[in-house]
Amino acid sequence: MRIGELHQATGVNIETIRYYEKEGLLAAAARSANGYRNYNAAHLERLSFIRHCRALEMPLAEIKQMLDFVAHPEADCGDINRLIDEQLTRVRVRLRSMHALEKQLSQLRAQCGKSHTAAECGILHELVVAAQGEA
Amino acid sequence: MRIGELHQATGVNIETIRYYEKEGLLAAAARSANGYRNYNAAHLERLSFIRHCRALEMPLAEIKQMLDFVAHPEADCGDINRLIDEQLTRVRVRLRSMHALEKQLSQLRAQCGKSHTAAECGILHELVVAAQGEA
DNA sequence: AGTGACCCTATAGTGACTACAGAGTCAACA
DNA sequence: TGTTGACTCTGTAGTCACTATAGGGTCACT
């Protein structure tokens, strides 16, 4: 399977696939006589795993660790739990801050119901005042 | 006020302050005889405004636009509304995806209640299966 | 031979910082 | 005067996960 086919099969960009290979997440593919990469089913499986973990917004370094666990079935899975827990914590912290942010932005947006000049803009006024309150 | 004092006053890193100056968000400070930057109250005010907008996760390019509106009180504030609306939309989209992500991670985490080996790990199993489902 | 789709490597850019190297300045102290 | 630690400067590079581009090769088809 050439790189374009692997892209079609997984939805991962060609350049990203090369990047993952360079970063050591994917094993280097065998090469055809013309220098083209030749991927096999194991690559497909591994890239899908990587892509799925990325969809969970896990950092590449941690995905590498997960892949190590896949490669070592005798390893203790406490560390897998820890990685997922850490990611879950990051996501929850992030969620809270995004909620607060949405609230702030909504309140800010409500300061200006009609179009008029910047001088009269409740949004700008609020931003300036808030900045002064913090200065 | 020297750069360290501005940092103390706003909580913005010294290097970040220099970065903002380089990017044109902050006007270049006057220099003392020894080459040190000398900031005034206007800089303090402007940096606080920038920092507040950053706290709202607005991109720097948009903060620049907001600062232009502050500088031009006669301008129409419809564009300010638009910028805030766009940011609000981005945040809401992001919130939805973070919620879905939290749910997925929680479900994944629930696959493994006890420590055992990676071979038996429900989390890994689920990740591999999910990746195969998508491959 | 020409052409378009595909592939290659190397390098640089994105956004918003952040760190580091090497050097100058300053005030306090011995 | 010399030393020292805190502060400042510019320039450059690195972070993270991509993404784009330049310049060139390969391949199948016309």
Residue A115's pLDDT is 63
Q: Letter for the amino acid at B50?
A: I
Report whether pLDDT(B135) > 60.
Answer: no
**Chain B interface disruption, residue of A8, A67, A81, most B CBs within 10 A:** A81
Are A78 and B115 inside 8 Å of each other by CB? Answer: yes
Chain A positions touching B74 (Cβ under 8 A) are 117-119
The answer to whether B83 and B66 have CB atoms below 8 angstroms apart is yes
pLDDT in tens, A106-125: 988 888 766 667 777 778 88
**Cα(B28)–Cα(B109) distance, integer angstroms:** 51
Say how many CB pairs under 8 Å bridge A and B: 173
pLDDT in tens, A5-22: 999 999 999 999 999 999
pLDDT band at B115 (very low <50, low <70, confident <90, very high): low
Chain B positions touching A101 (Cβ under 8 A) are 56-57, 91
Residue B102's pLDDT is 92
Q: What ipTM describes this predicted complex?
A: 0.84
Beta bridge pairs of residue B37: B31
Q: Which residue has the higher pLDDT, B82 or A117?
A: B82
Are A124 and B75 inside 8 Å of each other by CB? Answer: no
Mean pLDDT for the stretch of residues A117-135: 75
CATH fold for the domain made of A1-57: Multidrug-efflux Transporter Regulator; Chain: A; Domain 2 (1.10.1660)
Chain B positions touching A53 (Cβ under 8 A) are 127
Which has the minimum average pLDDT: A36-50, A93-107, B61-75, B121-135? B121-135
A53–chain B Cβ distance below 8 A for any pair? yes
Are A51 and B131 inside 8 Å of each other by CB? Answer: yes
**Cα(A101)–Cα(A117) distance, integer angstroms:** 26
Strand C within 7 A of B49 CB: no
- The distance (Å) linking the CA of B130 with the C1' of C5 is 33
Are A84 and B109 inside 8 Å of each other by CB? Answer: yes
Instruction: Please report the DSSP string for chain A in residue order.
Output: --HHHHHHHH---HHHHHHHHHHTSSPPPEE-TTS-EE--HHHHHHHHHHHHHHHTT--HHHHHHHHHHHH-TTSBTHHHHHHHHHHHHHHHHHHHHHHHHHHHHHHHHTT--S--BGGG-HHHHHHHHHHHHH-
